[in-house]
Structure formats: C-alpha cells, structure tokens
Structure 1
Amino acid sequence: MTTTALHDLYQELAPCTGLDLHALLPGGIQREAGHFNVFDIADLWEPTLAPPATPYTCRSFYKISILRSHSRAGYADQTMDIAPDALVFTTPKVPFHWQPTEPQLGQFCLFTAEFLLPVLGGTTPDELPLFRADGYPVFQLTPAEATRTAAIFAQMRAELASDYAYKYDLLRAYVLELLHLGQKRQPATVLHPAHSAAARLSSRFVELLERQFPVTTPQQRVPLRTAKEFANHLAVHVNHLNKVLKDSTGRTTTDLIGGRLAQEAQVLLRQTDWTLWEIADSLGFVDVAHFSHFFRRYAAVPPGTFRQQEAGPV
C-alpha cells in the first residue's frame, strides 16, 4: 500500500472493524504488484450510516461492490437510487459518493490498476467499458447472478485469508469474472465499437508492446524501446502513431512505452535478486545511472530504495 488515498481509506476503516491498521492489510501484499483487498459491508455500515452526505471524492483505486440493500449514490453529475442486488463498478477517474439509507448487506473489493496488469494483456482498467467516464456504473442482478456474485466474494475472502502461495493469481481471476459479468450487461455498441484503422493500429501497438514481457532472465533484452522503433515495426510514420495513441488513450507513445518499462522494472525489483545492472541492461538502458533517472520519474524513488522498501516486513 503506497498511495495516500489508500492509507486514508484504511485509517477510516480501522475504527469500523475494531482492527488496527496493520491487521487490515492482506498477508503478503507487499510482495505483489499493486494492491487488493475485500470487505464485508455489514462490518462497516453502522458508522457510515449516521454522518451526512460528504462531498464527492476520487480515490486512487478501483472498486467492485455487490450491494444487497437500498442506498443512494452520486456518480459524476448523476444521482441514482440503488435497489438491492446491484453490481457497482467505480473508477478513480470519476467522483463517486455512496450514501447508505438502511442497514447494509453486501461486499466490495478494491484494487489498483497495477494489480490487474498481469491479466489485462497490456491494457489498463480505464480502457474497459465498465470504467469509462461516460458509462453507467450500476447493474441490477438477477437472483441467480446475485447468488453467483456473492459466492465469488465469499471465495475472495476465504482465499485472501489463506496461505496459498499463488492466492493473488486466483484473486485476479475472481476479479476478471466479476468484470465479465458486468461487461455482459453492457450494450453491444459499447463493448464492440467500430474497428477503424486507428483502433486496429492502437490494438497492434498494445499487442507488440506487451509481447516483449515478461522479462524472465537477465540475458533477455527488450527489443523495442522508442516510439520510432515501434512505428517502423508497424510500418507507419511515428507522428501518425503518436496521434492515434494520444486520441485513443490520452497518452503519448513514449509515455505508454515508459510506463510499461517502469512496471516491468518494479516487478523485477520485487521478485528477483538480479543486480540493478542486470535489470537495467535487460530493459535496454546503457547503464544504471540512466535506469535510475528513468525509474525515479515513475516511482519517485531510486530503484535501490524501491527494492528496500518492498522488502520490508510483511
């Protein structure tokens, strides 16, 4: 847990659950890319029912909830009444304010974008229809769907409390199942936009970028690192590639490449004992100094400091 917003959330939850801050953190999460946790709303609703409505807030995490009681919510500029057995998807990009109106039943999980990186094939949660800023986040479930969804959350809680070595891989699979359930409720026009030439080029870029990872040995080298190299490989002008990606993602080609390299660097720093030189070399940097300068732009600390922090006590 590294972001201020996540820390603030746990400070709010600790008095509700009667647990201290450390006890709320899932076991082994420091060794994972990103953050994940799951809660039962019944453990929290009483302290949150009494206070008056608070201003909209944006968090640093994504959240999926099954709400099994009546409540109200504000999402962007919309106000909505939520009936029981609703599946709700919220994103840090859009302010969301939830107000219980009766004793609450249900569960929710929260996660960061980095947590889902290994299973999204190079895309980010923001690129999913469920988390689009212009989307509608609430989906009413049938009784059968509600039963299945509640079972998924129960499995999440049980798995999170287990000592299974690969429990976070399994938890990612459960999150994906919830995402697919929500996407089934999306209109076809949202899920399958017209495949224009620009959309195809953007998809090819993402596939080409992701194909370079993961880096599994110090001898492996990332072959493509610059916008021009990607443009040449895709047989387009670099300016055209930049425009297409900027229009579709809001980010430049260089920023997308750099972000993915930084994510891989964090994984290698957490999960391997490779030297900084070996990591820098495998990611295509001429020396550790250049790698360190690059890494600080994304993580705010040098790679050596990042590794020490991640190796802290569980």
Structure 2
Amino acid sequence: MLSSTAVSPAKLTTQDLKLKGFKIYAVDQPCTTKPHFSRRDYYKVILMTTKARLHYGHQSWELDGTYLLFLNPHIPYSMEMLADLRHGYICLFTEEFITSIDRSESLQQSPLFKIGSAPLFQLREDQVPFMSCIFQKMLAEQEADYPFKDELIRTYLQLAIHEVLHLQPAEAFLQYKNAAARLTAQFLELLEQQFPVESPEQTLPLKTAQEFADRLAVHVNHLNKAVKEVTGKPTSVHITSRITDEAKALLQHTTWSVAEIAYCLGFAYSTYFNNFFKKQTGMTPLACRKS
C-alpha cells in the first residue's frame, strides 16, 4: 500500500528518480581498446555479440557469437577482445539493488553467480531478440520519468536471470583447477549458510577466520592464502562485509533492538557492535535505522 505522504509524479525531481545501485550501457562500437570494467564492487550481466577470450578465476573460454555473461565481483576476471566490433549491453548492479524488496539469499548463492557455476551462456539466434528486448526495456526505463522505475527495472533484471536458467549452459559447473579455488568455494558457501539471521535468539556459529578454518579442517594461514588468491580479498574482509550487510538488513527490516542485533551477530556488548558498524559504514546503527 502506498503511503499518503508519497511524492506525486508532478512533484518528482531528478533526485527522486535517481537509480541507486544500477546502471546499464548500450555497446555498439569498434573495439579500439579492450573493455575495462573498473567497478569491481558491482555484479554484471552482459549481453554481448563479439569474439573474445574470457578469463574468469582460473578458467578461460573462447567466445564467438552472442553470449550472456554473469560476473561476480568476488571472482577476478578479464576479457580480451579478438574482433573489431562488439555489440550488446552491460548491466551493473549491487546486491542491495536486486534484493532490496526482500531479504532473499545472497547473489553468491544464485545458480548463475555462485562460485563454482559457469558464468556464460551462449544464445541461439532465435533467443537473441527476446533477451535483447529485456535489456532495451531496462535501458529505456533508466532514462524514463516513471516514479517506480527501480522496481520495474528490478523486475526486468530478474526476468533476464530467470529466463537464462532455462537455457543450456556452456558448462554445468566450473571444474576447480586447483585446491585454492575449491577451498574458497567451500569457505564462501559456509559463510552464506549462516544467513539470514531469523530470530534474536539465533547466533552466528562462525565469526572469525580461525573458526572457519577449524570447521574446514585446514590451517588458518592456508585458508587465508587460498581466499586471497582466488578473490583478491582476505578471509576477514569477506566475513566483515557479510556481517555488515546482515546488520544493515536487520536494522532496516526488523524491529529488534540494537542490543538484540549485536548479540545475534556475535558481539558481546552493544558498544562493540556500535563501534564495528560505524567503522564499516560511517554511521551508527540507529542512524542507519532512521535512514
């Protein structure tokens, strides 16, 4: 139900309509330089007709045709262009944008973005028009004045993701090339299994790199080295980031007290949680809730 204080379309400003955590580009130009995707904190869905070589984690593929690519910011990747032309769309978005309506599972657990899943799907000629239409609609809505365009774009993006799940992947799963990739996937899955936190009485069983290493039966230095090698980030950064994301969700989507949230996220005292949250976000838990 819309609030009676909602802004009417006639009074909307550019700021009111500004999309947060989403951007789509159309690409239709010669390959004068190799693409540089500098925003490594964004997930990407790319619809591209080109000839290129994709390096993703420890795997590489030769692309020749029209593909959908699903790139996870936690996995290092690069693309070498092997043709003079490229055509398509590049869609960037944060996890918060796609999951803002409900506290659904992390994108890292999605069949398309999960570490261990194949990141590319080749489209048949008859599949390209429909998928192109979805991206064209997102591009059009991005520039439109519709007050709920973020919800509409989110729906189009989710439609593209679900449509792809019906397609035949280039490979069902990536084959881990080494033990580091396998261990990193196990760590990230174990991390995600702890979320979402469903009640104030629930507490996180694993909160430190040492606890994760013990559960995985490896030395903590070995775990840290593997995770840094595969993702470019230390184990502690992944843990801290995920706890921070959950803290934001609990502050915004529950009526639990700060003390209850601090307890279920593993902080012995609210002051410890307040200091942690402010260091990670630049604001206090109460300020986050009010915003």
- Shorter-normalised TM-score: what interval? 0.5 to 0.7
Q: CA deviation at 1:248?
A: 1.7
Q: CA deviation at 1:265?
A: 0.7
Question: What residue number does 1:200 align with?
Answer: 182
For this pair of structures, how many residues does the alignment match? 257
Change (3 A) 1:273 1:58: same
Question: What residue number does 1:58 align with?
Answer: 38
Measured in 2, the distance between the counterparts of 1:173 and 1:37 equals: 15
Q: Which 5+ residue runs of structure 1 have no aligned equivalent? A: 1-18, 30-34, 76-82, 97-104, 132-136
Aligned pair 1:121/2:121, yes or no? no
2:227 to 245, 251, 255: 245
Report sequence identity in percent.
Answer: 34
Q: Deviation digits for residues 49-96 of structure 1, max 9, x if unmatched?
A: 9xxx9x97834644445579xx9xxx9xxxxxxx99775778888899
Change (3 A) 1:183 1:258: farther
Q: CA deviation at 1:222?
A: 0.9
Measured in 2, the distance between the counterparts of 1:65 and 1:122 equals: 16
Measured in 2, the distance between the counterparts of 1:157 and 1:246 equals: 35
Measured in 2, the distance between the counterparts of 1:170 and 1:233 equals: 38
Measured in 2, the distance between the counterparts of 1:279 and 1:271 equals: 12
Measured in 1, the distance between the counterparts of 2:37 and 2:176 equals: 34
Measured in 1, the distance between the counterparts of 2:245 and 2:128 equals: 35
Q: CA deviation at 1:270?
A: 1.6
Question: What residue number does 1:11 align with?
Answer: none
Aligned residue runs from structure 1 range 39-78, under 5 A: 58-59=38-39, 61-64=42-45, 66=47
Change (3 A) 1:122 1:284: farther
Question: What residue number does 1:15 align with?
Answer: none
Q: CA deviation at 1:215?
A: 0.5
Change (3 A) 1:212 1:176: same
Contact 2:106 2:192 in 1 (8 A): no
Measured in 1, the distance between the counterparts of 2:70 and 2:109 equals: 20
Question: What residue number does 2:7 align with?
Answer: none
Contact 1:38 1:109 in 2 (8 A): yes
1:267 to 249, 254, 264: 249
Aligned pair 1:236/2:184, yes or no? no
Q: In proportion to residue count, which structure has more strand?
A: 2
1:25 to 18, 32, 45: 18
Q: In proportion to residue count, which structure has more helix?
A: 1
User: Does the residue aligned with 1:212 lie in a helix, a strand or coil?
Assistant: coil
Change (3 A) 1:239 1:61: closer
Letter in 2 for 1:271: H
Letter in 2 for 1:206: L
Question: What residue number does 1:152 align with?
Answer: 134
Question: What residue number does 1:143 align with?
Answer: 125
Aligned residue runs from structure 1 range 90-101, under 5 A: none
Q: Which 5+ residue runs of structure 2 have no aligned equivalent? A: 1-11, 55-63, 80-86, 99-104
Change (3 A) 1:61 1:178: farther
User: Does the residue aligned with 1:224 lie in a helix, a strand or coil?
Assistant: coil
Q: Which moved more, 1:205-214 or 1:168-177?
A: 168-177
Measured in 2, the distance between the counterparts of 1:205 and 1:89 equals: 21
Contact 1:246 1:252 in 2 (8 A): yes
User: Does the residue aligned with 2:248 lie in a helix, a strand or coil?
Assistant: helix
Measured in 1, the distance between the counterparts of 2:238 and 2:272 equals: 18
Change (3 A) 1:254 1:86: closer
User: Does the residue aligned with 2:92 lie in a helix, a strand or coil?
Assistant: strand
Letter in 1 for 2:277: F
Question: What residue number does 1:10 align with?
Answer: none
